[in-house]
Structure 1
Amino acid sequence: MKKIFIFLTVAFALQSCKNEKQKSTESKNTENQKTQPSKTSVNQSSQSIEGKKNPNDFIPEGYVINKYGGGISAEGWDEIKGDLNKDGLEDVVLIIKGTDKNKIIQDEDRGALDRNRRGIIVLLNKGNYYELASKNYNCFSSENEDGGAYFAPELNVSIEKGSLHINYGHGRYGNWGYTFRYQNGDMELIGYDSYSSNGPVPQYEVSINFLTKKKLTKDNLNKNDDGDNYEVKYKDTWETIKLNKLMKLSEIKDFDELELN
């Protein structure tokens, strides 16, 4: 009987030690769960770091905002705003310009000319911060280029109907423009339109839809006439263009060298 009592006492003691170890382990696990941050909060924190409160915070070192007062065939700009992703918020487009003093030249007739190139930054409004949609720091020539016997083409940038429009006006010689849409994480080129003229006489028009891969050329058959009874007479030609992928704004090196006709 005495042996049985001793055996039960030892068994009870061993079970008590085991229970204490389990409680200790559970307590440590609970403390670890309290002190370790959740993956969700970490992810949310990293996403918020990608945004910036002020659009000007996206301007890189060595650049400033380029405000344009307008010219002969292009409107000026101060702030370029509009909804680019159909969320009801005003997104922002910044035109920037380099500040390299070595790019300032002395022209015999026009004096000091700042030939620093210009670029573009497209920002999406996320409510309490802005997110980068696309950037290209040097894709535009300066506003002080040499146009020869005529003035150089003038840049105009705007947001209309959810699309970004980059247009060039060249007075009596016509105009041309590029239409970009925000998709696939960048601003993609979806359209191109040009109008060529010789003074008041239209020469031809070109319109390209890169989504449908269709190109329309309108050739004025009376382009060489300019009499009192002058009449525009267009001949329309439709073509299907070859296109592997849409061009991205961030990948265009120089709009002056971009030929789509």
Structure 2
Amino acid sequence: MNKTLRLLPFFLLTIAACKAQNHEPSDFIPKGYAAFENYYGDLNNDGQEDCIVLIKKTDTANIVTNRFDQKVDRNRRGIIVLFKTAEGYRVADKNYDCFSSENEDGGVYFPPQLSVEINNEKLYLHYGHGRYGFWKYTFRFQNSNFELIGFDSSSNYGPIINKETSINFLTKKKLIKENTNENAEGGDEVFNETWSDVEIGHLVKLSDIKDFDELEMYDY
């Protein structure tokens, strides 16, 4: 057999392996979805820059006319967590439809804005609601999944913080801070703190959350 022909399978395997080792974040987006936003940071303390890809479905049936006669994209969004390795990216976790559209109808309010932060090897999903406050979910990679280990929220009236809630699912403790200064103008709140125990059988996995809008933290 010709020597070149004998080496051909080896060359083809080498080329395929090289391609497999050079995945870009966009290579992991499933059919019927598009990239929405990318975030980078180290999520597993290995010195590599991992990637969070927010994706959005592209179903034209979900492009509708809202109550202001504007065409809006109501397709849901999802998340793909990619760990960077010496060979390329690999999927660490994923959930394709857990976030509502950024164009949901908030009624008399505007819809909360979802953003992502990576800090101290933790994944933060932050919903900002302007002058009304925010709520934030904290995930960490453990037991081969990203698990919900914390929740924080702030209920505001403009610059005034009315109530803050912080739940640590690892210590199973919850702290509620309520402002008792009825004349507060912002920065001069006086908080009453209440600690309680949290009853939880197991930590919630990112991949198991069907809809963050229905993830009721105040049940804990």
What amino acid maps onto 1:141 in structure 2? Answer: S
CA contact (8 A) 1:52 1:131 kept: no
Aligned to 1:141: 100
1:100 pairs with 2:67: no
For residue 225 of structure 1, report the CA deviation from its aligned partner: 2.9
1:258 pairs with 2:215: yes
- CA 182–102 in structure 1, closer or farther in 2 if over 3 Å, else same: same
Distance in structure 1 (CA, Å) of the matches to 2:141 and 2:20: 18
Aligned to 2:193: 236
Distance in structure 1 (CA, Å) of the matches to 2:208 and 2:49: 25
- CA 134–184 in structure 1, closer or farther in 2 if over 3 Å, else same: same
Distance in structure 2 (CA, Å) of the matches to 1:241 and 1:52: 44
Gaps of 5+ in 2: 1-17
Distance in structure 2 (CA, Å) of the matches to 1:137 and 1:131: 16
- CA 194–89 in structure 1, closer or farther in 2 if over 3 Å, else same: same
Distance in structure 2 (CA, Å) of the matches to 1:89 and 1:120: 19
1:66 pairs with 2:36: yes
- The alignment's C-alpha RMSD in Å is 2.1
**Which moved further from structure 2: 149-158 or 97-106?**
149-158
Aligned to 2:12: none
Within 5 Å, which residues of 2 pair with 1:154-193? 154-193=113-152
Aligned to 1:150: 109
Q: Secondary structure, in 3 states, of the residue corresponding to 1:97? A: strand
For residue 253 of structure 1, report the CA deviation from its aligned partner: 0.6
For residue 147 of structure 1, report the CA deviation from its aligned partner: 1.1
Within 5 Å, which residues of 2 pair with 1:1-261? 53-67=23-37, 79-109=38-68, 111-222=70-181, 224-226=182-184, 231-261=188-218
- CA 226–180 in structure 1, closer or farther in 2 if over 3 Å, else same: same
Distance in structure 1 (CA, Å) of the matches to 2:52 and 2:31: 18
Distance in structure 2 (CA, Å) of the matches to 1:244 and 1:60: 33
Q: Secondary structure, in 3 states, of the residue corresponding to 1:66? A: strand
Distance in structure 2 (CA, Å) of the matches to 1:220 and 1:107: 38
Distance in structure 1 (CA, Å) of the matches to 2:216 and 2:19: 38
**Which moved further from structure 2: 106-115 or 242-251?**
106-115
For residue 54 of structure 1, report the CA deviation from its aligned partner: 2.2
TM-score (norm 2): 0.86
Aligned to 2:4: none
- CA 50–177 in structure 1, closer or farther in 2 if over 3 Å, else same: farther
What amino acid maps onto 2:148 in structure 1? Answer: L
For residue 208 of structure 1, report the CA deviation from its aligned partner: 0.7
Structure with bigger strand share is: 2
Distance in structure 2 (CA, Å) of the matches to 1:237 and 1:162: 29
What amino acid maps onto 1:60 in structure 2? Answer: P
Residue correspondences, number: 201
For residue 108 of structure 1, report the CA deviation from its aligned partner: 4.2
Offset from partner CA, 1:188-227 (integer Å, 9 cap, x none): 11111001011222111001111111111001112x4357
